[in-house]
Amino acid sequence: MSYLNMAIIQVASPSASSDPGEKKRENLERMMWHIDQVCFINPTIDLIAFPELYLSGVEPIKWRKMAEPIPNGPIVQKLIEKAKQINKWLVPGSFFELGEDEKVYNTMILISPQGEIVLKYRMVFIPYPLEPSSPGNEFPVFEIPHIGKIGFLICADGHYPESARNLALKGAEVIIKPTLQGEWIGGLRNHTPVAITRAIENQCFVVSINQPSPVGMGNSVAIDPEGRIIEELGIAESFTFVHLNLEEVRRVRENGSCGMFGFLKMLKEFKEEGCNVDECYRNGIENADVYKNLSFPHAKTPDQITRYKGPKELKTSSH
């Protein structure tokens, strides 16, 4: 049997400093306090995870100044030392990374108990025009020894079935998704059903860690491979522990959800029987009929937003 004992830390960035460096330092100091607290309360945990942009905070103007390189940034180095000190796997939410190409990415990392960055994921599906960062281009997974395969998503990534399916087909058994989703983005009718859907269709655990109200909406949630909620927090700052039995993923993928619906196995078999299960991708997503009457590009900044004027007035795509 293999288990992942995980601490879910639902907290908001505490610093109100206008100085980017000071803001990150104050947020980091509070993160360290939370880490020490959960380790003291439950020393058996394997992995500690935080919400999206906890270290950076909601910073729509100075977001580029908040970015730092990985692994040589000063905050990242302190996180590496902390993981070694507590001898735990650490997911410090996501934060702004300054890439080698001078672009800024919304990035999350997995730090091992030995202080190695073993997994780095750059958010692919950026929620323009809310966020100005650049998209990543891959969906990596990492196998934690004696536990199982982990994959990452960040916030809006969860609204695209392709993101989680890429991870599942690479063997991910747990998808960890830091998020910063407010009540105004559909509330519970959006946040929780999306996590449940990604878990059911990929037959894996999905853990979504949100910032609390009023910045986020809280309701951090852990879903099992058959879509059941195994833990859910409220709207306030809080934390909890989830004990994930990864043999459940292997059982469900082998025997099927509810003991009969082998979604992933059947997908492979239908494909092998000649069913065009991937028809929507074979000619390229960009060539799909749905795009023929949509105008492009999508607004990247608020000043580019236009109101819908009806299909006759839309400029058709050049794809």
104-158: per-residue pLDDT in tens? 999 999 999 999 999 999 999 999 998 889 999 999 999 999 999 999 999 999 9
By C-alpha distance, which of 157, 138, 53 is closest to 96?
A: 53
Q: How confident is the model at residue 308 (pLDDT cuts 50, 70, 90)?
A: confident
Indicate the average pLDDT of the chain: 93
Residue 311 pLDDT > 80 = no
Retrieve residue 279's tokens: 């028809």
pTM for this entry = 0.94
The Cα–Cα gap between 123 and 94 comes to 9
Residue tagged 């998209």 (tokens)? 135
The Cα–Cα gap between 278 and 258 comes to 25
Q: At 33, is the secondary structure helix, strand, or coil?
A: helix
10 Å CB burial of residue 202 (0-12, 13-18, 19+) is buried
Given a contact cutoff of 8 angstroms between Cβ atoms, the answer to whether 155 and 178 are in contact is yes
58-105: per-residue pLDDT in tens? 876 788 899 999 999 999 999 999 999 999 999 999 999 999 999 999
Given a contact cutoff of 8 angstroms between Cβ atoms, the answer to whether 154 and 179 are in contact is yes
- Give me the domains of the chain, ranges plus CATH numbers: 3-261 (3.60.110.10), 280-313 (no CATH)
Q: How confident is the model at residue 4 (pLDDT cuts 50, 70, 90)?
A: very high
Q: What is the dihedral of CA 249, 254, 260, 264, to 10 degrees?
A: 80
* Greater model confidence, 57 or 28: 28
Q: At 143, is the secondary structure helix, strand, or coil?
A: strand
Region for residue 83 given its phi and psi (left: phi exceeds 0; alpha: psi -120 to 50; beta: otherwise): alpha
Cis ω before 71 (30° cut-off from 0): yes
The Cα–Cα gap between 288 and 3 comes to 42
pLDDT at 319: 45
Residue 22's identity, in one-letter code, is E
Q: How confident is the model at residue 316 (pLDDT cuts 50, 70, 90)?
A: very low
